[in-house]
Amino acid sequence: MLKNTLSKYQALIITGVLLWIKSYIVYKFAFDLSIENSVQEFILLINPLSSVVFIIAFALFFSGKGRNIAILVLNFIATFVLFANMVYYRFFNDFITIPVLFQTSNMGDLGESITSLLYPYDFLLFIDIILMAVYFKVRKTDGPKVSSKKIGLTFAAGLILFIVNVGIAETERPQLLTRSFDREMLIKNIGAFNYHVYDAVIQSKAKAQRALADSSEIVDIENYVKADYRQPDPEKFGAAEGKNVVMISMESLQDFVINNEVEGKEITPFLNDLIEDEDTYYFPNFYHQTGQGKTSDSEFIVANSMYPLPSGAVFFTHSQNEYQAMPEILDQKDYYTASMHANNKSFWNRDIMYKSLGYDHFYSLKDYKVTPETSIGWGLKDEHFFEQSVGHMKEMPEPYFTKLITLTNHFPFSLEQEDELIPEWTSQDGTVNRYFTTARYTDESIKMFFDSLKNQGMYEDTVFVLYGDHYGISENHNAAMSKYLGKEITPFVSTQLQQVPLLIHIPGDGNGKVMETVGGQIDIRPTLLHLLGVDTKNTIHFGSDLFSKDRQDFAVLRDGSFITKNHVYTDGKCYDKESGEPVEKAQCEPYMEKAKKELDYSDRIIYGDLLRFFDPKSGQVKEEK
């Protein structure tokens, strides 16, 4: 009987076994999943099984040649899911979510980034599908019809396998399915296919949240925000009132390059000099807090002083929400507000989202002259971007707020030899080697921009805010980074590498200094608004003024890690900042609830579009009609 069953369902069994094997191979060699013991290794091995059985069950609905086609199609879909995650992981060190899959308008602009992430052997993942297609053609086998009872039993077997899988995983990681912000944990324990089903359920739940939300949900959040409000430094409040604002989002620039060298050459000589300027406030303990939305997430955080979502990009998933963004607030203070980025206006859905944020104008690709000589990689070189942007700025009514987003220091960090101001590093990791040259190029471009503004008489009456938008070097390049930094990349060091530069330069201020306070991108909005003399008491925000004398040294990252004055909490462990060594978890516990609450509150605002129930003029919840 067993021999007969194996013969009848040979194609299904072979497909299932091969899909199981290649899933495990991808987990082991394409993803950097930390396996701490034999139980976790066993979970990793068995977690594709339930999905494989479910796929077989779906194929059983068909018979004859239809089943052969179903086997090939289902196998291709499952394999493509593995393939897409593998390629995505190489750059983002993360896994695809449902919202990311719908961000197809970005794909056409990725160009060189996508091709550089593909390896010839990647397509070996699909070879079994080709072989099975040949097998079906040669053998001309037809799958026998299967009763509804047997199909039901197959689904039941898949469900039992999933329950057993989750049960074992829960012994290793309690509350596994409530920790949806930790995608690596989910992939490691329930597998890629089950993770994507779980993600779809979470996304559907998020859609329902908005439909069911009401004004009562924002009351607790309002109370928390007002209780956590930090008074601005009276000496700094209004110190830059009425001045123009130039904000520079520095693509992929991490803080480890500041005051550092490669091959004896400074990586960021201009920024280093700017930090020493008496008019500059530099924040070395400042962190990016982005998620999957990367640059768009940093824009969202800075504009709204809220956290990005744990999955996807707010710019795509919630672009029609009501916000109390900085451009809108400044527009009400008679500022002309603009964003400047030499990329397609639809990339990251900016053309839609910017309207929700309250920008008066978006200077996109169509507003710039881009030629093969002036562009590389993702588009217009930073030097030419800044040069042309000055021309646009001269036409803006004052006072103006404009944000400029650089491009050249973007993966895969391409640069023509004629533009290289320092040599590439000489490790075996080309990505890291090139990163230093493009970072140096961006630094020089910013210097030229500052010089141009001075020559045009546009410098003195302007406040400059320069910040790194997100990491440039992911954990996939830890070997090269360990060599460069001269130390092992532990979870503690990896979290510290999420530091990005923040410089606030106020010409004529004269009191500039290095500010040691711990902060993140979420703190930029209240800090800048207070410098401009704008009261933020009546707005919903989670950041606090970086100049405030009673601010708390605190920054929480999107994955739940957080940093305080003396500790770093990441990957479930508490580390001493001075030694970098693990300490008792109790030393981080006073901040764990705050970190979790802020991420949760911010998510609830976005998912439920709760700001539609809040009046920023009165600082009160609107009365429902």
CATH number of 244-549: 3.40.720.10
Which pLDDT band, with edges at 50, 70 and 90, does 4 fall under? low
Considering the chain, what percentage of its residues have pLDDT values greater than 70?
94
Q: What's the mean pLDDT in 590-611?
A: 95
pLDDT over 90 (residue 206): no
Range(s) of the chain covered by CATH 3.40.720.10:
244-549
Give per-residue burial for 218-250: e unless 16+ CB within 10 Å, then b: beebbebbeeebbebbeebbebbeebbbbbbbb
Average pLDDT, the chain: 91
CA–CA dist 344, 421 (Å, integer): 28
pLDDT score, position 502: 98
- Could you tell me the pLDDT band of residue 184, with boundaries at 50, 70 and 90? confident
Output b/e per residue, 276-299; b: 16+ Cβ within 10 A: eeeebbbbbbbbbbbbbbbbbbbb
Q: What pLDDT score does 103 carry?
A: 58
Q: What is the pLDDT of residues 338-393, one digit of tens each?
A: 999 998 887 888 988 999 999 999 999 999 999 999 998 888 999 999 999 999 99
Q: How many Cα atoms sit within 13 Å of 305 on the Cβ side?
A: 25
* Average pLDDT estimate for 395-411: 96
Confidence band, pLDDT 50/70/90 cuts, at residue 115: confident
Q: Are strands 502-505 and 462-468 parallel, antiparallel or unpaired?
A: antiparallel
Please report the pLDDT score of residue 230 as a whole number.
Answer: 92
Residue with tokens 């086609």: 69
44 vs 143, more confident = 44
pLDDT value at 545 more than 90? yes
pLDDT at residue 620, rounded to an integer: 84
Is residue 578 within 8 Å of residue 585, measured between CB atoms?
no
What's the pLDDT score for residue 316?
A: 82
**Sequence-separated (6 or more) residues with CB below 8 Å from residue 339:** 299, 327, 350, 354, 359, 361, 362, 363, 402, 403, 405
Residue 624 pLDDT class (50, 70, 90 cuts): low
Contacts of 528 (CB under 8 A, 6+ apart): 245, 247, 326, 463, 465, 504
Q: What is the pLDDT of residue 101?
A: 65
User: What percent of the chain has a predicted confidence (pLDDT) above 90?
Assistant: 72
- Name the least confident of 59-63, 175-179, 480-484, 603-607: 175-179
Which residue in the list 15, 154, 268, 295 is annotated as catalytic? 295
Average pLDDT over residues 180-189: 76
Q: State both tokens at 455.
A: 């020559």
Residue 88 pLDDT: 83
Structure confidence at residue 6 (pLDDT): 60
Give the pLDDT confidence score for residue 7 in this predicted structure. Answer: 63
| DSSP code for 64 | B
Rounded to whole angstroms, the Cα distance separating 602 from 541 reads 9
- Does residue 596 have a pLDDT over 70? yes
pTM of the model: 0.78
The total of other beta-carbon atoms located within 10 Å of residue 161's CB is: 19
- Residue 142 is predicted with a pLDDT of 66
Q: Is the pLDDT of residue 175 over 80?
A: no
Tens-digit pLDDT profile for residues 459-516: 999 999 999 999 999 998 999 999 999 999 999 999 999 999 999 999 999 999 999 9
Give the model's pLDDT for residue 108.
53
Active site residue 564: no
Binned at pLDDT 50, 70 and 90, residue 528 comes out as: very high
More confident residue, 597 or 181: 597
Does residue 25 or residue 94 have the better pLDDT?
25
CA distance 513 to 519: 16
Give the pLDDT score at 625.
53
DSSP state of 305: S
Mean pLDDT of the region 32-56: 91
pLDDT of residue 321: 92
139 pLDDT higher than 70: yes
Residue 534 and residue 325: Cα distance in Å, rounded? 13
pLDDT given for residue 106 in this prediction: 55
Model confidence at 109: pLDDT above 60: no
Write the CA distances from 596 to 179, 183, 257, 563, 591, integer angstroms. Answer: 11, 16, 31, 13, 9
Residue 112: band (very low, low, confident or very high) from pLDDT cuts 50, 70, 90: low
